[in-house]
Amino acid sequence: MPLWKYLERGGKHAEAVWHRRAGKDDLCLHWTAISAMTRQANYWHCLPEAAQARKAIWKSTNPHTGKLRIDEAFPHEIRKATNDTEMLITFINGSSWQVVGSDNFNSLVGSAPAGIVYSEWALANPNARAYLRPIIAENNGWQLFITTPRGRNHAYTTLKSAQKDPEAFAQILTATDTGIFTPDQLQKELNAYIADFGEEYGAAKFEQEYLCSFEAANLGSILARSIGKLEKMGRIGDHVEYDPKGSEIFISADIGRRDMASWFFWQPKIGGYSIIDHDSGFGIDAEEWCERLSVKLSQYRTAEGKPALGTIYLPHDARAKTFAAKHSAQEIFLKYFGHDKVRITPNSSIADRVNAARTLIMRCEFNETNCENGLNDLRSWAYEYDDEKKIMSSMPKHDHASHSGDSFSYGCVIINTYKPKVTMQQKAKYWEDLTLEEMWAETKKASNRL
């Protein structure tokens, strides 16, 4: 009711982290029905993938009534047409409602929705929000983000942001808050999860689904637990900065012409690696990336005032050309940055890269603000779990998070070719290794003041 009343008062932005089977989608479907009848416009119900939308929403049945959920929310009396192929309903007043996927949002922007429900937001492509937000703002529309947690990824970030926004709605409802389940039922659910996934992941899955825990380990996650350890160790924060006296920056990348691209900025140091920056984007071509990376790199200079860039490493498919492009991404980067600044990442298998990432991440530290999106992706990077076969996939799931996972793991392979530059600050504690001049330079000048 607090969410419903917020929407009735004209609320435009809600983040509802509710436990499994709390009625998230049902509430949003009924609110969309009212909105569609009140204002003639287009409305979307967006799931992480278009392929799952049909089963999860379009063909979903309410177990309490035996009726399709869309029939309960959108009675046939208010419909003009129902397109089963496109999962599209047109209403008698000219409004429309469609089930879509955040994995193909770029093909849908022309229809200009006035209301979007992001169902299972924690599993969705976060770039859909950024891509569609200007359209919602222009249309004076609303956005509802509903989910259960999947670790501290973008859903955690947007929830915290909404909690600080006086005009937004933010709420966490656990199974112990709503009373939908009895204690005995919850215990049975916990036992069932443990039976399916084992003690550790079973309990974590239950905590995610019913207790809305952002701290629980994500099933199939590759690096989420390691990132959690880095946070507790204080190795993620804005104190992680570029050292102008240190090594040059190298950049690892995963790129695509029509897909996501992700870039991590590394600075090797004694004992580990500082990841000082990150960038990512969708549908940006190689020429635009050259300019965008150049602007970002301009803020990093050595102590001598020289550019800090050492090498940009591109993936193997950067060599490829298409009929639509005269030059490969590699050729474009070589022309822009120079032949001494661009390399192709050493060849390796996905399994080897995943192992390298798991091994080396504990020697890394991240700038929290600059790498926020990249860290969120790395927390979400995971193997896909097959509910029927009860096994993990052999390869990481290909989704929005996999691009940053690939970019980071490429960097972990490249790491082995780098030797960090030893700075005076790093050498100062080893006095036996210093010359007299270096000792004098490192010694603070005495004050003549009493």
| Structural domains of the chain, ranges and CATH numbers in brackets | 2-173 (3.40.50.300), 249-426 (3.30.420.280)
For residues 174 and 304, what is the distance between their CA atoms, to the nearest angstrom? 55
Residues 6+ positions from 301 with CB-CB distance below 8 Å? 244, 307, 308
- In the block, residue with structure tokens 């996927």: 101
Q: Which two tokens stand for residue 416?
A: 């082995």
Q: What is the pTM of this model?
A: 0.73
Report the C-alpha dihedral over residues 237, 48, 195, 383, rounded to 10 degrees: -60
Q: Which long-range contacts (CB under 8 A, 24 or more apart) does 323-329 make?
A: 324/257, 325/257, 327/286, 329/255, 329/257, 329/286
For residues 402 and 449, what is the distance between their CA atoms, to the nearest angstrom? 60
Q: Which of 214, 19, 53 is nearest to 124 (CA)?
A: 53
**From first to last of its 450 residues, what are the pLDDT tens digits of the chain?**
999 999 999 999 999 999 999 999 999 999 999 999 999 999 999 999 888 888 899 999 988 899 999 999 999 999 999 999 999 999 999 999 999 988 776 666 557 899 999 999 999 988 888 888 889 999 999 999 999 998 888 999 999 999 999 999 999 999 999 999 999 999 999 999 999 888 878 898 899 999 999 888 777 889 988 998 999 999 999 999 999 999 999 999 998 755 689 999 999 998 899 999 999 988 788 999 999 999 999 999 999 999 999 999 999 888 876 545 678 899 999 999 999 999 999 989 999 999 999 999 999 999 999 999 999 999 989 998 776 676 778 899 888 889 999 999 999 999 877 766 655 444 444 444 556 665 566 555 544 444
Give the start-end residues of each E strand in 231-332.
249-254, 260-269, 272-282, 309-314
Cβ neighbours around 1 below 10 Å, total = 6
- Asked if 173 and 19 count as a contact pair (C-beta separation under 8 A), the reply is yes
pLDDT attached to residue 107: 64
